[in-house]
Amino acid sequence: MIGRTRRLLYSLSRWPQVNRKTAENQPDSRRLPRQARALEKVELILEASRRILERHGLEGFTTNHVAELAGVSVGSLYQYFPNKERILDELARRELAALAAGIMGALTGRPPETPGERIRAVIHAAVSAYGGRTGAHKALMHYLMTRGGGSPLPALRGSVMSHLVTHGLVDHHQQLRKLDEAEVFVLAHAVGGVLRALLEDPGALAPGRRESIEEALVQLVLAYYRLSATPTG
């Protein structure tokens, strides 16, 4: 499983370059940021972008605004990012790599000490990502979900589902039961529907409500495992 996790993180590190289909979206080889000064300028652009997303969301995100806030010319910005989508792609890639590390780490980390601990860790990592730690984070998750072809979200979901089919969900020194592919599909998309709703309902993150939603999702997953393990007939 460690190998699969590393492969997933590697694919995320290369996205979106590996999925580019048109020449206009290919990386600009003229100014790849190898030198320290160039790297610093790229980070200034990305930090300005985060601040704009935090304050104005995707609707107020423009390259002119980013360049102004970063203190660089628009022409200089375009030497590193040919359009605003490339900036969003890079920010989203970083966010998604952190999400993948959190979820896969929760799935494959040390054995839990209390019942439901591993499930709770996975749900917490997912809710933290989809619910959004900040307005910028929330905007980037929304961008990933509404982006055209090539989004890496399905790869992350596929890795989680593959792990559950192959290994089940070991929790508190016991195997709750391996789910088959159909059961994992239903469970993953049931939880995913709640996570997507977090992007659309700001009230879901009100004090106390987020914790209640996390706990409800934990109980949903536990109940699904237990119910599916109950003999029928």
Summarised one tens digit per residue, pLDDT across range 90-141 is 998 888 787 777 777 777 777 666 667 777 888 888 777 766 657 888 788 7
Band (159; pLDDT cuts 50, 70, 90): confident
Q: Classify the C-alpha dihedral 195-200-201-202 as positive or negative.
A: positive
- The CA distance from 108 to 154, in Å, is 19
Of the CA atoms within 13 Å of residue 121, those in its CB half-sphere come to 22
Band (30; pLDDT cuts 50, 70, 90): very low
pLDDT on residue 27: 45
- The CA distance from 77 to 179, in Å, is 48
Is 225 in contact with 179 (CB distance < 8 Å)?
yes
- 223 CB neighbour count, 10 Å cutoff: 10
Name the 3-class secondary structure at 170.
strand
pLDDT on residue 188: 81
Band (162; pLDDT cuts 50, 70, 90): confident
57: alpha, beta or left? (left if phi > 0; alpha if psi -120 to 50): left
- The CA distance from 104 to 1, in Å, is 9
Residue 34 or 94, more confident: 94
pLDDT digits (tens, 9 = 90+) for 60-84: 999 999 999 999 999 999 999 999 9
